[in-house]
Chain A
C-alpha cells in the first residue's frame, strides 16, 4: 500500500503545488474558486480521456505522439503562466492595495483567470493520465486489490494535498504588499521549469538536439524520483542530469517573461504619467 501511495503522491504532487500557487496568486479575486475548480474538473476529464486513448496517442506521429503531446501540454502551461505574469504587472499594484484593506474582495472581471484555469487543467491532465493508467492496472489485477488501490490512492492523495495546503498557508504569511511579487517569482520559476521539461520530451523524441548530454549530475545528492527531488522539480525545475538544451529553454523562458514584464511595466508608467 505504501509503494502505491508513494507513486500516487509523486503523480499528484505537481498538480497540487500548481493549484496552491495559483490559489495564492488569485487571492482576493471573486470567482477564483469556480475557475480553479473548472480547471481541476477539466483536467480530470482530460486525464481520463488521455488514458482511454493512450494507444492512439502513443501511436501518433510515428510513435512520438506521447512525447509531442506532453511537450505541448507543458508549453501551453508555460505560455499561460507567462501571460499571467505580464498581466499582473499592470494590475498587481491595485490588487495588492485592495488586499490590504482587510476582507475586501476584488472584482476584476478582466483578470485572466482563464489563463490560470488552463494552467491547472494542464497540470492535472498530464500527471493525471499516468495516474489513471497506473490505478487501472492495479484494479484489473483482481478483486483482492481493493485495499491496495483505495488505501494507496487515499494515502498518496492525502499526503499531496497536505503538502499543497502547507504551501498555501505558508505563502499566505507573506505580507500582502509583497505577496504578488512572491507569487510572480514562483510562477516564473514554475514556467521555466516546465519549459525545460518540455524540451527534455522533445530530446527524447529526437526532435531537438541535446546540446550537451549531462551538464551536471547530482543524482547521488538529490535523485529525481525522491519526493524532495520531485518537489524541487516542480517549484524550480530541478533535474539531476539536465541536457544543455534544457538549461537553454530555462534561461530563454526566464528572460522572455521578465523582458515582457519590464516592457509592460514601462508602458504602464508612461500611461500613468
Chain B
C-alpha cells in the first residue's frame, strides 16, 4: 500500500471508529406492523435521550410511518424494516400513525 493511501485509510478507520459508537450507544426500540396495526400500541421511552426506532413492516404492502409530533415520515415497503432516529423528547405523549391505514394503524410513544 502506498504511503498516501495508507494515510487515507487511517483517516477512514479513525473516522469510522469515531462515528460508529455514537450510533452504537443509542437506545433501540422496535415496532411491528402486522395487519395494518402497530405492536406494541404504546412504547415507553426515557425523556431527553435520543434512540433508534426500528419499524418492521410484516405486511405485504407498503406503509408510511408518519408522526407530526415526532417530525418523522418514512415509507416502509412491504416485508421490510426501517430505522428511524428519534431525537431527545420532552416528557409527553407523541402520536404516530401508518398513513396508508389510519383507521387501524395508530400508536404512541410516551416519554417519561
- A contact set with B: CB distance below 8 Å: 3, 7, 54-55, 58-59, 63, 66-67, 130, 133-134, 136-137, 140-141, 200, 203-204, 206, 210, 213, 219, 223-225, 240-241, 243
Question: In the complex the two chains form, what is the Cα distance from A213 to B69 in whole Å?
Answer: 12
A-B contact pairs, 7 of them (CB 8 A): A58-B77, A66-B75, A133-B61, A137-B63, A137-B100, A204-B71, A241-B68
Contact of B102 among A3, A58, A67, A219 (CB under 8 A): A3
Tell me whether A134 and B100 are in contact (CB under 8 A).
yes
Tell me whether B99 and A3 are in contact (CB under 8 A).
no
Tell me whether B103 and A3 are in contact (CB under 8 A).
yes
Residues of A within 8 A of B69 (CB): 219
Tell me whether A7 and B77 are in contact (CB under 8 A).
no
Residues of B within 8 A of A133 (CB): 61-62, 64, 75, 77, 100
Residues of A within 8 A of B108 (CB): none
Question: In the complex the two chains form, what is the Cα distance from A233 to B69 in whole Å?
Answer: 16
* Surface stretch bound by A, among B1-9, B10-18, B37-45, B80-88: B80-88
Known contacts A3-B102, A210-B87; is-contact A58 B71 (Cβ 8 Å): no
Counting chain A CB atoms within 10 Å of each CB, the highest count among B84, B100, B103 belongs to B100
Counting chain A CB atoms within 10 Å of each CB, the highest count among B63, B64, B73, B88 belongs to B73
Q: Give chain A's interface secondary structure class.
A: helix
Q: How far is the CB of A135 from chain B (nearest CB, A)?
A: 9
Residues of A within 8 A of B46 (CB): none
Tell me whether A54 and B77 are in contact (CB under 8 A).
yes
Residues of A within 8 A of B85 (CB): 204, 206
Question: In the complex the two chains form, what is the Cα distance from A67 to B75 in whole Å?
Answer: 10
Tell me whether A200 and B71 are in contact (CB under 8 A).
yes
B60 interface residue per 8 A CB criterion = yes
Tell me whether A55 and B80 are in contact (CB under 8 A).
yes
Q: How far is the CB of B111 from chain A (nearest CB, A)?
A: 13
A-B pairs under 8 A by CB, number: 65
Counting chain B CB atoms within 10 Å of each CB, the highest count among A58, A213, A223, A241 belongs to A58
How many residues does chain B have at the interface if contact means C-beta atoms less than 8 Å apart?
Answer: 26
Known contacts A3-B103, A134-B100; is-contact A54 B62 (Cβ 8 Å): yes
- Return the CB mask of B73-108 against A: 1 if under 8 Å, else 0: 111110010111101100000000001111100000
Question: In the complex the two chains form, what is the Cα distance from A130 to B76 in whole Å?
Answer: 10
- B contact set with A: CB distance below 8 Å: 60-64, 68-69, 71-77, 80, 82-85, 87-88, 99-103
Contact of B84 among A134, A136, A137, A204 (CB under 8 A): A204
Tell me whether B77 and A140 are in contact (CB under 8 A).
no
Question: In the complex the two chains form, what is the Cα distance from A219 to B88 in whole Å?
Answer: 19
Residues of B within 8 A of A134 (CB): 62, 64, 99-100
Q: How far is the CB of B7 from chain A (nearest CB, A)?
A: 25
Contact of B75 among A54, A206, A219 (CB under 8 A): A54
Tell me whether A58 and B68 are in contact (CB under 8 A).
no
Residues of A within 8 A of B61 (CB): 133, 136-137, 140-141
Closest 10 CB pairs of A and B: A137-B61, A133-B62, A54-B77, A55-B77, A134-B100, A224-B68, A63-B83, A206-B85, A137-B100, A140-B61
Residues of B within 8 A of A54 (CB): 62, 75, 77
Tell me whether B75 and A58 are in contact (CB under 8 A).
yes
Question: In the complex the two chains form, what is the Cα distance from A7 to B97 in whole Å?
Answer: 13
Beyond contacts A54-B62, A133-B61, A219-B69: 14 other A-B pairs, Cβ-Cβ < 8 A, are: A7-B99, A55-B80, A58-B77, A63-B82, A66-B75, A130-B64, A133-B77, A136-B62, A137-B61, A213-B87, A219-B68, A224-B68, A241-B68, A241-B71
